[in-house]
Amino acid sequence: MTRKSSRIFEINKCHSWVLLILVFSIVPLHAATPRVARDLQVWYIFDAEKGDTIQDRSGVGKPLDLKIEKPSAVQWKKDLLVVRSSTKIRSSTPATKLINAVKRSGSITVEAWVKPANVGQKGPARIVSISSNSSQRNVTLGQDGKKYEVRLRTTGTSTNGIPAIISPNNAAKTALTHIVYTRDVSGTARFFVNGKQQSSKKVTGKLSNWSKDFRLLLANEMTGDRPWLGEYHLVAVYSRALTVKEIAQNFRAGATSKLSKEESKESLAASRARHVFETQVAPLIAQNCLDCHDSASKKGRLDLSRKVTALAGGESGKVIVPGKASESLLWDQIESGDMPPKGALTNQQKKILKEWIDNGAVWSIDVIDPAVYEHDSRASDVWVQRLTISEYIETVRSSVGVDISKEARELLPPDLRADGFSNTAYNLNVDLKHVEIYARLAEIIVDRMDVLKFASRFSKSKKLSTDATMRQFVASMGKWLLRGPLDEREVTIYSGIATTVASTGGDYKEAVRYLIEAMLQSPRFIYRIENQRGDGTAWPVGDFELASRMSYIIWGGPPDQELNRAAEAGELHDEKALEKQLRRMLQDPRAVERSLLFISEWLNLDRMHNLSPDRKRFPKWDDALADDMREETRAFFKEVVWQQKRPLADLLNAQVTYATPRLAVHYGIKPKGSGLQRYDLSAVPARGGLLTQGSVLTVGGDDASMVTRGLFVLHGILRGAVKDPPPGLDTTPVPSKPGLSQRHIAEQRIANTACAGCHVKFEPLAFGLEKFDGLGAFHNKDEHGNQLRDDGEILFPGAAKAIPYKTSSELMNLLAGSSRVQKSITWKVTQFALGRPLVAADARVIDQIHEAARKNGGTYSDLVIAIVKSDLVHKTRTEAK
């Protein structure tokens, strides 16, 4: 007999054999079945055996412990609590974390393993409740004689949660019973007893009217007049409707607390160890050890970048002995200060490493990728996002139908690039000029609007009033302009403008005019305001917040009416409905425009406007070519991503491009037609893919520097990292001369042991581009008559061995086929979508995003869908109040 079955035997041996048989017949005994953990908010397992406190074991946020008001009314038994007479078991504070999470998700699961003392208790007698008295509640699971009953407050039910969902008669028995209530975001409520659905019902409305002040109660109402008597074995609440499968899983896992608790402890410890490794140890190793001990350098034959090789050790044998820092060579070297050679670690860093080894040296990722730790955790601070200039323009256009692009681009201070993109939230600061121009633009926008026609969308009345009609109008128009419902405070603030207009003898049109002007300058228009307060953990975003995230990621503009409708209906937290919306949105031309902004930012195409090559050296250069090159890349991207719908990595080797006749001549291709024309490059072996386009080839400057180009590929395409030049090296670029091409110079650098360690990581990446000069023209010989080459080898970050290539096109194929490149593109698109640099804590989710997108085809649309579906978009990291 398993531990679990023996325990159930114990539970029941004091009862009749009939009951024992019944329990065995309804509880399948899969001792190892784990409980569902995702979106768990509170979890009680009644194993204290004494005292008046029941601890919240969820491990989520701040524990919501419960206090037994009258300990004499209860009796502790092994892994259960018997409530013998009327008492109250309640949280000492409002159930904030639970209430917030459920309100945000619009869905809930209440689960309990209980054994009623009798089938006569009524009220319903409160088993689990979040309420304040007999008529005010958020949710209550109760027993009413032989039935169970659940009352849920929504905007469609009363504050008492009526109408309730009621189980069939005789569902309540004096036996250990598994009861589950779920209500999903679309309003479907289900009731399960012992893993089987008993009833289902539509409970319409939203949970936005849940009170934030109610406490969590067991065994009674807050007022003490709805006692429930019986045994508590387990109580859990989730901020999500568990699926039928998941309910069956929890049923199979059983009421036993001990087993679950041990599993939970283990999994908690494992998760903690994983967290320590990924957020503290791996960054330390990446920043201090991998310069010499990665797969490529491997000094002393020790590769610390990979789990397998690190644990295997180097030429001195094992360097990490899990559990024993004192026997680990790694610790010995670090403690003594011999490693890292550039300077000892701080005491705190040493402590982290020692504790990690002593705690078992848990190594939870296969490869430590230094690029993951490029930004420290501060870079992931939650910054409110101000609309960028392009987002502002699109938001104005979508919201009020006015094209303000010319004035906005001319007047607003430019958004500067930070960490590769100009939508990086922390850098979107605001100056007096912004405030001045927002005000001026608001005036211009309203001047161009048909104010009365616009207002008629929100109100039939055209009378300037200061009463409820005006408030309703403000609320309705504000909901559209400010991308979500207004609260009373906001309605009052903005209605005040109408009052002022009225008091100065103005009319309805004038009032609307000033109202719109104010809203166009308000924080909720200029910024993407979201709730960022909570308990320090990640919380699900609200419906309208999610809608805005989706629309700004995909369109760079606000939600449209359909998306707002879906948000209002709570559909966006439903996976199928969400996917439907995403597919719809990706069909919109704005999605194409947004993606073009991405490529423009990623490759910094705007720099082409400033290209100013040495005229003596390039007498044939025509400034118009710079624009042609920019347009080439945009048109190429559009074709590969949107017309051919190919995986994003194909951008590196697609055999097609677009060029003006002028650019075609510059490239040495026979020109055709006028304007931007499509060229099939199958027969042009030297060209094909982003890296062979002028917009990218010009990054190396007039000299087509191998170092600059190589570093661009390393950082921009491969997300690689490289350290500073070693001491004593003259970093002045060496010019080509007869008999000495840039390739020779690069090879000399690589042959120099002082340079090789780093230069081998990036210069060969540019070897394949040597035949392109600093402006992207193709030559077989340089200006000194040196023969140019395009063969070389590429060392992917993290790889041990370089892969040779014979031609430029082979290099492009290697890049396009590389999982490293594919993942790098995922990182870039994700960073642009989120508007912030990515940090180590994001790495796991990005892996999931990448995998999901790859499985679906790896196209831009697949990737965007995976990003939006991920926790990086569905959740927001909160700050504790």
Partner 1 sequence: MKIHKIPRRMMLKSLGTATVGLPLLEEMLVSRVSAAPAQAVPVRAFNVFFGLGIPAPLQTEGFDGVLEPLKPLGDKLLIMRNVDQVRCDEKGINAHYDGATGAFTAEPPDGEAKSGGPSIDQVVRKAHYPKGLPKGMVSTLVGGTFFRRSRVGRYVHSYNQDGTVAATMQEKPRALFDRVFGSISMSGDNTDVRRKRLKLSVLDSVVDDYKFYTGANSPLGSASKARVADHLDRIREFEQRAFALKQKDPNAPNLPPRSKILHGGPADPGGMGVDITLEELTTEWRLMADLYALAIQMDRVRFGSLTFLAAGERIRLKGDYKYNGKKLWQFDDAGQQKASGDRGCSHEWWHKFDEKKKNEALRAHAHMKMREVAYFLQRLNDSDSKEVNGKTILENSLITISTESGDGRHNNVKRELSGVFHAITGANGRFKTGQIMDVGAEGIDVYNTMLKGMEVKDQLGPAKRKTNAVDSIRA
Nearer to partner 1, 440 or 457 (CB): 440
Cα–Cα dist 593/61, whole Å: 40
Nearer to partner 1, 4 or 836 (CB): 836
Min CB(282)–partner 1 separation in Å: 15
Cα–Cα dist 797/804, whole Å: 15
Nearer to partner 1, 552 or 805 (CB): 552
Q: How big is the CA angle at 92 (ends 87 and 93), to the nearest 5 degrees?
A: 135
Cα–Cα dist 219/126, whole Å: 5
Min CB(351)–partner 1 separation in Å: 13
Min CB(617)–partner 1 separation in Å: 7
Min CB(877)–partner 1 separation in Å: 8
- Hey, is 390 helix, strand or coil? helix
Nearer to partner 1, 76 or 383 (CB): 383
* DSSP code string of 260-284: HHHHHHHHHHHHHHHHHIIIIIHHH
Min CB(552)–partner 1 separation in Å: 16
Min CB(139)–partner 1 separation in Å: 24
Contact between residue 816 and residue 805 where contact means Cβ atoms under 8 Å apart: no
Min CB(734)–partner 1 separation in Å: 9
The tokens describing 331, both together, are 């610790």
Nearer to partner 1, 296 or 699 (CB): 699
Nearer to partner 1, 391 or 530 (CB): 530
Phi, psi angles (nearest 5°) of residue 208: -65, -20
Nearer to partner 1, 14 or 432 (CB): 432
Nearer to partner 1, 213 or 680 (CB): 213
Phi, psi angles (nearest 5°) of residue 576: -70, -45
Within the chain, what is the greatest distance between any pair of CA atoms?
Answer: 102
Min CB(428)–partner 1 separation in Å: 8
Cα–Cα dist 105/156, whole Å: 16
Min CB(826)–partner 1 separation in Å: 20
Min CB(1)–partner 1 separation in Å: 53
Instruction: Describe the strand order of the beta sheet including 53-54 as a list of residue ranges.
Output: 53-54, 66-68, 89-91, 215-218, 125-133, 136-144, 147-152, 165-166
Min CB(610)–partner 1 separation in Å: 4
Residue keyed to tokens 């009953």: 149
Nearer to partner 1, 224 or 701 (CB): 701
Nearer to partner 1, 44 or 539 (CB): 539
Min CB(363)–partner 1 separation in Å: 23
Tell the burial category of 32 from Cβ atoms under 10 Å away from its Cβ (0-12, 13-18, 19+).
exposed
Q: Helix 860-869 crosses helix 575-586 at what angle (to 10 degrees)?
A: 140
Please give the C-alpha separations between residue 687 and each of 676, 798, 808, 845, in angstroms, as whole numbers: 17, 28, 8, 35
Per-position b or e across 673-704, b if 16+ CB within 10 A of its CB: eeebbebebeebebbbbbbbbbbbbbbbeebb
Min CB(413)–partner 1 separation in Å: 6
Closest listed residue to residue 543, CA positions, set 531, 525, 557? 531
Nearer to partner 1, 200 or 492 (CB): 492
Min CB(698)–partner 1 separation in Å: 6
Cβ neighbors of 848 (< 8 A, separation 6 or more) are: 866, 870
- Hey, is 844 helix, strand or coil? helix
Nearer to partner 1, 84 or 509 (CB): 509
Phi, psi angles (nearest 5°) of residue 415: -85, 120
Nearer to partner 1, 196 or 723 (CB): 723
Closest listed residue to residue 461, CA positions, set 534, 511, 394? 511
Nearer to partner 1, 427 or 472 (CB): 427
- Hey, is 22 helix, strand or coil? helix
Contact between residue 110 and residue 149 where contact means Cβ atoms under 8 Å apart: no
Nearer to partner 1, 42 or 470 (CB): 470
Min CB(496)–partner 1 separation in Å: 6
Nearer to partner 1, 31 or 502 (CB): 502
Contact between residue 181 and residue 248 where contact means Cβ atoms under 8 Å apart: no
Nearer to partner 1, 565 or 737 (CB): 737
Min CB(506)–partner 1 separation in Å: 7
Per-position b or e across 777-801, b if 16+ CB within 10 A of its CB: bbeeebeeebebbbbbbbbbbbbee
Cα–Cα dist 723/293, whole Å: 13
Cα–Cα dist 465/502, whole Å: 8
- Hey, is 748 helix, strand or coil? helix
Phi, psi angles (nearest 5°) of residue 199: -155, 160
Residue keyed to tokens 């993290």: 798
What kind and span of H or E run contains 180?
A: strand 177-183
Contact between residue 798 and residue 369 where contact means Cβ atoms under 8 Å apart: yes
Min CB(168)–partner 1 separation in Å: 43
How many residues would you count in the chain? 881
Min CB(603)–partner 1 separation in Å: 13
The tokens describing 173, both together, are 């028995």
Nearer to partner 1, 217 or 745 (CB): 745
